[in-house]
Each structure stands twice: as C-alpha cells, then as structure tokens.
Structure 1
Amino acid sequence: MAVKVLFETPSGFAIFRYNGYKLRHQVALMKNKVHAISQSTGVSNELAKMIRNNLQPRQRLAVGNEDYKSIIEKELGIRCVYDSAVAELMWGLKIQMQSLLTPENSDLSNEGYFPMSTGMYCFLKGQKFDVKPDMM
C-alpha cells in the first residue's frame, strides 16, 4: 500500500501519494495554513477533513516534522511517519514544487526553490564548508 505524504507548501498543505516509483499529485490542496496545525490548537477541521478523505484505513501518513506527527497521531488517531527518509522525500518534493503545484497555487519565493538535503549538508560540513542550517 502506498504512503500518503502531507506536504507543507509556502501557502498551505497538499497531499501526495508516494509508492517509491511514482509521485502523483492528489486533488487535495488546502490554501490557508495559518491555523491548520499547531501544538496549542491541534488540527483544524479543514485539514483533518482533507487528511481523512485522502487516506485509506490503516494507511500511514508521512509528515514533514515531529510536531506534525505527534499532533496528527494524537488528534486524529492516524499513524504517521517522520524519519530521515521522509525528510529526504520532503526535500525532493520542495525541489519539484514548481512542477507539482499549478502557478495559481504556488506562492514560492526565490529562497524556496533549492533547499539543501540533509545528506548534502552533512557532506559539506565534513568538507569544512561554511554551511548555515537555514540553507536546508
């Protein structure tokens, strides 16, 4: 069974289906992310509905950080995964964001185009390059 990916864009959230061979954009796209998910407010009704409508029973949801994982698991009872492999997947999605989101749904700034992967960050630091964490 494929994993669904909750992906945070600069302007909202999108859900993708990932099966290791293909990445396919789903219809689900939520524009307003300001109050969508936080430790204090939990998961908004709009985001909860989008997640539930796009997951099959017992399907896991890959998320972009540990906070999202704990909030969604607690609030919605949905098993989530966040680890180094998911972090690299999110990096790859950020690189491909322009081709995945339609222009009217994309509010990308120039600094959002090419985030650095964790692997590249570790390699460059090991080679004594002056790499800042905000370059990731």
Structure 2
Amino acid sequence: LPPGQLLDDMAVKVLFETPSGFAIFHYDGYKLCHQVDSEEIWADFVDPDSAADEVDLLEFKTFENKVHVISQSTGVSKELATMIRDNLKPRQRLAVGNEDYKSIIEKELNISCVCDSATAELMWGLKIQMQSLLPPENSDLRNEDYFPMSTGMYRFLKGHKIDVEPDMM
C-alpha cells in the first residue's frame, strides 16, 4: 500500500445538512465503522478546538430551496450529486444524517452510506459546533436546535450521577 493509503481507506466523508445548505466533512471512519462508545464521538465535539481537530470541511454549498436538493420525489439534484462525487474516493462510504438520504443516495448514486447511532452522535457534534466549523453567515443555530442531547453526553452525565430529564433526550 502507498503511504497514507490505509488512512484514506479508513476515512469517511460526512454529508451534513445545515439551515442553508450542505457540507461535506472528512472524519475518522474507524469510529463509525467499529461502533466505538458514543462517549468517544461525543468527546470529539466538546469544544470548537477539539471539533476542528477531528473533522475537516471539504466543501460547503448553499441552496436556494433545499426541498428540491434531495428528496424521495426529486432524488438528488445534479449540483449535490456532483458535490458528493467530487469528494468521495471509489468504495469510500458516506455518513448521512437520516435513513431517507441513505436510501436515495445509495439508489441514485450507487454510493454506500452509513446512518446509525454512531452517525447520529457525529451529526449531533457537527450541529453543536456548526458555528465554528462553517462560514459564520451560514451557520445560524437556534437554541432549540441544540437538543436532543447526545447519547454519549447522556451516558457521561448519568455515569457521574448527574440527573438528566428524559425530555432532554
């Protein structure tokens, strides 16, 4: 294997939806593929500096009307499909935030996607650190968008005997 090949093969790309568009990030695929403890993924995003160390923004695009960018009825727009293909290597997996996106992308683009509990932790981390990872004018996050709480954070707090309300999950 050429130097760095194994690291490239273990990397996963992440399709992340923002209020104004979509971003593609690079993330350590080992954590997603080997289902590490959700506390490990959660810990990657405890502050902006640790988040910046764990993910790399590869591309970000705003879309006028996101409803037509990816949906069961319209499929994947040409612009989003190009963005995804330009950032993935052959046989590389794409982490996505919901099952609909997974099925649409796998069907239309023939790209293997992952959408599971580990991916949900990753998406939560990207969401809470969005303002530090994306251009400021495109990263508005309302207070109610910070919840539900990360599963990893919930386990961490419960493990330290801190009472957490069920409606925070």
Give the counterpart of 2:12 among 3, 23, 34.
3
Alignment correspondent of 2:54: 22
Give distance in 2, aligned partners of 1:109 and 1:7. Answer: 17
1:129 aligns with 2:162: no
Residue identity matched to 1:77 = N
8 A Cα contact 1:95 1:114, kept in partner: no
Q: Match of 1:31?
A: 62
Identity %: 72
Residues of 1 paired with 2:106 and 2:137: CA distance?
A: 31
- Residues 7 and 13, structure 1, Cα contact 8 Å, conserved in 2: yes
TM superposition score normalised by structure 2: 0.68
Describe the superposition over 1:10-44 as per-residue Cα deviations: whole angstroms up to 9, x where unpaired: 11110000025721111x11211231100111001
Residue 59 (structure 1) aligned with residue 59 (structure 2): no
Q: How many residues align?
A: 129
Deviations 1:48-78 (A, max 9, x none): 0100000011100000011100000000000
Query: 1:128 and 1:115 mapped to 2: Cα distance?
Result: 12
The answer as to whether partners of 1:88 and 1:117 remain within 8 angstroms in 2 is: yes
Larger Rg: 2
Task: Tell which has more relative contact order, 1 or 2 (C-alpha 8 A, sep 6+).
Answer: 2
Q: Partner residue of 2:46?
A: none
Distance across 2 between alignment mates of 1:69 and 1:104: 28
TM-score when normalising by structure 1: 0.84
Indicate the RMSD between aligned Cα atoms, in angstroms.
Answer: 2.2
Deviation at 1:118, TM superposition (A): 3.4
Q: Does 1:104 align with 2:104?
A: no
1:88 aligns with 2:121: yes
| Partners of 1:94 and 1:115 within 8 A in 2 | no
Confirm or deny that 1:116 pairs with 2:125.
Answer: no
Contact 2:19 2:138 (C-alpha < 8 Å) held by counterparts: no
Structure 1 SS opposite 2:129 = helix
